[in-house]
Amino acid sequence: MSKLRTADSTCILCGCGCRLRYFLDDEGNITRCKPIIIDRERGYEGCFKGFIAWKGVETNRIDRPYVRGEDGELKESTWKEVYEILNSVFRDYKEENIAYVASGEVTNENNYIIQKFARVISFTNNIDTCARLCHASTLDAMMKTLGISVMPNKIDDVLSADCILVFGSNPYTNYPALGTKLMLAKMKGCKIISVQGSVNETSRKLADIVVTLEPGTEIIFINTLVAELVRKKYIPLSRIEELKGGEAFLNVIEKFKSSLVYRFCHIDLEVFDKIVETIGKTENFVVMHGMGITQSGIGTETVACLINLVLLKDAKLVSMRGKINIQGAGDMGCSPTSYPTGPINEETKMKYESIIGAEVPLMEGLTQIEFMLTSPVDVIYICGSNPAVSMPYLDAVHRSIEESICNLSSPILDAYSEICRHHTSITHPHRDKWYNYKC
């Protein structure tokens, strides 16, 4: 029996970015995997979910193109036929008539090409991705407060923390590798405070203090927490005054009294006081949040309030993402409001055009909600995404994808047979998230 080959790759499961070593047989099929990094201080990279995720790599893989016939059935086709159809589509449909969906499951290079193709060939900014959808409020809040749209700190910062506030996230279940790091921090004496909309496994298994908020009261909780930290002199006034807008901020938080937390958040004041004291005394504070606070009408404001707390306590901010390359999709400009060179405006347009040597549109594009639901376009090109499952109002989404077929085509580019495929007119494969992340 021949010796198994190995390939080191990034785990495809979530946004933790764990590095794993895969063992391949003579035909290149994965037989097993193991973590590369195992450290008593840092924990190990990988989790039980990631260690078996490879078993789905070959399941339902698409290895040839399909075209929907006149009878409504998808039938195996040839690359020549598909390229002829796509050539016709991209020649006849441009600007406001076509839209693109990029992916958090492909590499930066692929996402860059997708958005460049949309802007140069179709001359449209109608390109979106779940990178903007799920954490749009986080990106907006970070840009307005920090001037950046990326997580300013790293996951391993939790290992040196003496207090961690987990807000609207469930790392114990959703990010087990991160959950392991939280356990290590806890073993060193770190206090973990879990603030959620409902009790989850992180609250049950890891937290020293558990709070279940009434939905929509997150801002009241955070601002009152900051106000109490100031009143009890855990945050010196000089710290606030040295920040831009400090005086106006003081005038706002002065109105937030602990009685509001009891009245609106339905939190026992003894528990709240304990949170204030624990955070107030911490010297290495980490604030971790997820999509439990981002996908609401006050998501941007809630994240901005958390950033205020981070700045005033000189803390670390860890914003947990869902897919393996959500951050990269955003960085590459897969957004209706941003080029790779920054938010859409005359300056960033000229900068991007000088880099690629081609003209791109200036007007902001439609969001995925708009071009699939409120203002459906004629053609939607979907890459490595499955909006037929992940979008809201699925009946309307399915109808939008199907109706675009009546105009000509709604192609989907993916490596696997997704439910979205049942509603498209063309499906063709690509090098997927596993093979693209091989070293």
**Chain segment 267-287, per-residue pLDDT in tens:** 999 999 999 999 999 999 999
Specify the long-range contacts of residues 396-405, CB closer than 8 Å, at least 24 apart.
396/372, 397/372, 397/373, 398/423, 400/372, 400/373, 400/376, 401/372, 403/376, 404/376, 404/377, 404/378, 404/379, 404/380, 405/68
pLDDT of 314:
93
Residues 162 and 253 in one domain: yes
> CA triplet 214, 295, 310: central angle to 5 degrees?
75
Burial of 113: CB neighbours in 10 Å, binned 0-12, 13-18, 19+ = middle
- What is the model's pLDDT at position 70? 76
Q: What is the mean pLDDT of residues 129-141?
A: 80
At a CB cut-off of 8 Å and minimum separation 6, what does 71 contact? none
Range of 168's domain?
152-319
Considering the domain architecture, whether residues 120 and 195 belong to the same structural domain is answered as no
User: Which of 319, 346, 369 delimits the end of a domain?
Assistant: 319
**Cα dihedral sign, 44-49-52-53:** negative
Q: Assess whether 236 and 312 both reside in one domain.
A: yes
Residue 142 lies in a domain: no
Question: Is residue 143 assigned to a domain?
Answer: no
Question: What are 108-125's pLDDT values in tens digits?
Answer: 998 999 999 999 999 999
Q: Tell me, what CATH number does 108's domain have?
A: 3.40.50.740
Cα 228–chain centre separation: 32
CATH at residue 186: 3.40.228.10
Checking if the pLDDT of 220 tops 90, the result is yes
Last residue of a domain, one of 296, 319, 342: 319
In this structure, is residue 438 part of a structural domain?
Answer: no
Cα separation of 72 and 95, whole Å? 28
Among 75-84, 318-327, 340-349, 407-416, the range scoring the smallest mean pLDDT is 407-416
Give mean pLDDT, residues 160-182: 93
The mean predicted confidence, pLDDT, of the chain is 85
φ, ψ at 165 (rounded to 5°):
-100, 115
Looking at the fold, whether 373 and 427 belong to one and the same domain comes out as yes
pLDDT digits (tens, 9 = 90+) for 378-433: 888 888 777 776 666 667 776 766 666 433 333 444 444 454 455 567 777 764 44
pLDDT at 60 over 70: no
- Are 184 and 159 found together in one domain? yes
Asked if 352 and 278 sit in the same domain, the reply is no
Same domain, 250 and 297: yes
Query: How many C-beta neighbours within 10 Å does residue 325 have?
Result: 28
- pLDDT tens sequence across 21-35: 999 888 888 888 888
- Whether 186 maps to a domain, the answer reads yes
- Whole-angstrom distance between the N-terminal and C-terminal Cα of the chain? 25
Whether 139 is in a domain gets the answer no
**Which one of 319, 346, 378 terminates a domain?**
319
Looking at the fold, whether 213 and 101 belong to one and the same domain comes out as: no
Percentage of residues in the chain with pLDDT exceeding 90? 42
CB 416 within 8 A of CB 432: yes
CATH number, residue 37: 2.20.25
* In-domain check, residue 109: yes
Provide the pLDDT confidence category of residue 439 given band limits of 50, 70 and 90.
very low
The confidence score (pLDDT) of residue 273 equals 97
Helix axes of 218-231 and 299-312: crossing angle, nearest 10 degrees: 20
- Residue 265 and residue 231 share a domain: yes
Residues 254 and 355 in one domain: no
Asked if residue 189 and residue 308 are part of one domain, the reply reads yes
Are residues 336 and 128 in contact, defined by beta-carbon separation less than 8 angstroms? yes
Q: What is the pLDDT of residue 414?
A: 46
Q: Is the pLDDT of residue 42 over 80?
A: no
In total, how many domains does the chain have? 3
Cα torsion 191, 196, 202, 207 to 10°: value is 20
Q: Does the residue 439 lie in any domain?
A: no
107 and 192 assigned to the same domain: no
Residue 141 lies in a domain: no
Distance (Å, whole) CA 219 – CA 215 = 10
